């Protein structure tokens, strides 16, 4: 039995399964992982780290530069789900996955058909007017020049968690609740070093299975019941018995 076949079997044996994913899940959709996305752009911005440029403070003090970085580096309006996203949506439809908890802001899980998605870091397709609360989408922001504003004149802010901001506490509580009841947690495409999201693994109860599918080692590999290296898209597609 291969590792992916074992994962498939475990998913079908356990009643409460939850998925926790990160940037590695979307690289096959043409979205570079968080750090490698910034190479050439950051060469032009020496002395300013990407953490600073994606901080709440930078958004407030250098709003035009913030949106320049967003448009040139962070936004991928033409990205489409890959087989990993479709595999997870299939597992949910079959009752084999209760929730998708993601660090990604690209919305590809929902595009693939997943319904119960907890976006801990927000969604890059939502921009809120700071004056009237009206919601705009990514296309609107991409087509604007400079700082995007609402028809009422208010400034827009992306509905994502910037450095220096807290996670949405209700979303975090929901994710913890799923982790606590999980009989199996499937982790893929994340280094498990960013907290508090990485700490969700610690909420697994005794006897729950932890499966990690990731290109590189993570701090939790030693605690996992199964670690799968290699192509996570193919691993998830095979585990979900996704055709094509």
Q: Which residues are catalytic?
A: 121
Helix (H, G, I), strand (E, B) or coil at 203: helix
Helix (H, G, I), strand (E, B) or coil at 173: helix
The pair of three-digit structure tokens given for residue 178, joined into one six-digit string = 């799923």
Helix (H) or strand (E) holding 226: strand 226-228
Nearest to 4 by CA among 213, 214, 223: 213
Angle at 197 (CA atoms; ends 195, 202), nearest 5 degrees: 95
Q: How many C-beta atoms surround the C-beta of residue 133 within 10 A?
A: 10
What is the distance between the alpha carbons of residues 102 and 188, in angstroms, rounded to a whole number? 10
Nearest to 70 by CA among 175, 156, 180, 5: 156
For 174, phi then psi, to 5°, come to: -65, -45
């Amino acid at each position: 039995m291969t590792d992916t076949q074992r994962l498939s079997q475990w998913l079908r044996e356990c009643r409460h399964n939850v998925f926790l994913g990160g940037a590695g899940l979307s690289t096959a959709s043409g979205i570079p992982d968080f750090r490698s996305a910034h190479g050439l752009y950051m060469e032009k911005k020496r002395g300013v780290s990407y953490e600073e440029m994606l901080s709440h403070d930078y958004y407030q003090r250098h709003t035009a530069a913030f949106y320049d970085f967003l448009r040139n580096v962070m936004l991928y309006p033409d990205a489409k789900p890959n087989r990993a996203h479709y595999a997870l949506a299939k597992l949910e439809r079959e009752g084999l996955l209760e929730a998708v908890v993601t660090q990604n802001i690209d919305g590809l899980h929902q595009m693939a058909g997943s319904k119960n998605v907890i976006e801990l870091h927000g969604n890059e397709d939502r921009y809120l007017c700071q004056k009237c609360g009206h919601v705009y989408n990514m296309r609107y922001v991409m087509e604007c020049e400079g700082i995007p504003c609402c028809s009422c004149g208010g400034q827009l802010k992306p509905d994502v968690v910037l450095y220096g901001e807290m996670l949405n506490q209700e979303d975090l509580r929901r994710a913890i609740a799923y982790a606590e009841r999980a009989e199996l947690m499937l982790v893929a495409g994340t280094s498990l070093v960013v907290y508090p999201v990485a700490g969700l693994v610690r909420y697994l109860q005794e006897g729950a299975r932890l499966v990690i599918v990731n290109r590189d080692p993570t701090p939790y590999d030693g605690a996992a019941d199964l670690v799968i290296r290699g192509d996570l898209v193919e691993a998830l597609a095979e585990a979900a018995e996704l055709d094509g």
